[in-house]
Amino acid sequence: MMGKTSVELLIFDLDGTLIESKWDIAASVNLTLAELGLPQRPIEEIFGFVGDGVKQLLRLSVGEGGRGTFDEVLRVFRGQYLAHCLDRTTFYPGIGEMLTHFAGKRKAVATNKSIEYTNVILQGLGANHFQYVVGGDHGFGLKPEPGMLLHVMEQLNVPKEHTVLVGDSTNDINGGHNAGIRVCAVGYGMGNRAKMEACRPDWFIERPEELMELFI
């Protein structure tokens, strides 16, 4: 291993990178389907729908035969997920230690998740670690578009060469590279390993603690 890489800003994806949230997401989807009188889906199938934002998640979950308006689906899901988003969701093992280790660095969250859910979860788990948080409905586009990442760097006044994005999906890797920053992919999240490796991340780690060995 070469020497550590100097960074000033660590931007983190949320679901599958900082937090293990798939159980609460899937449970809330099935509660939504039940409330709408639609057939529930296997949990593993719903896991496969996560990653491109809540609208895509719900479109895939409801399927073609969904009755009622999509606004109604979103409304029902919002109520269910706000009620259940902290039932089982936690930071992954090692995340708390890693965030504390980088207490002197600027840290941000850039997620395709709605800012409403993001704020509730971070308030519950440790929002104090982050100087800036941006969500998928802030108007900067969804990763792999670079908008939210460029916005974070602008707000925190850190140049691209001193910024690293940490994420668990091809959207993160491609989004970081589209924004001109280096990316550390994580193998413990929800992303497809082969697809992530094909996107050529600058680093690939298996445990959050490895970030402490990579960056200074």
Residues annotated as catalytic are 13
Which token pair is 215? 């960056």
How many other β-carbons are positioned within 10 Å of the β-carbon of residue 44? 9
The CA distance from 212 to 199, in Å, is: 23
Q: Roughly how many angstroms between the first and final C-alpha of the chain, as a whole number? A: 14
The CA distance from 98 to 111, in Å, is: 19
Edge-to-edge strand list for the sheet holding 163-167: 132-134, 106-110, 9-12, 163-167, 182-186, 203-205
- Give 90's strand partners: 20
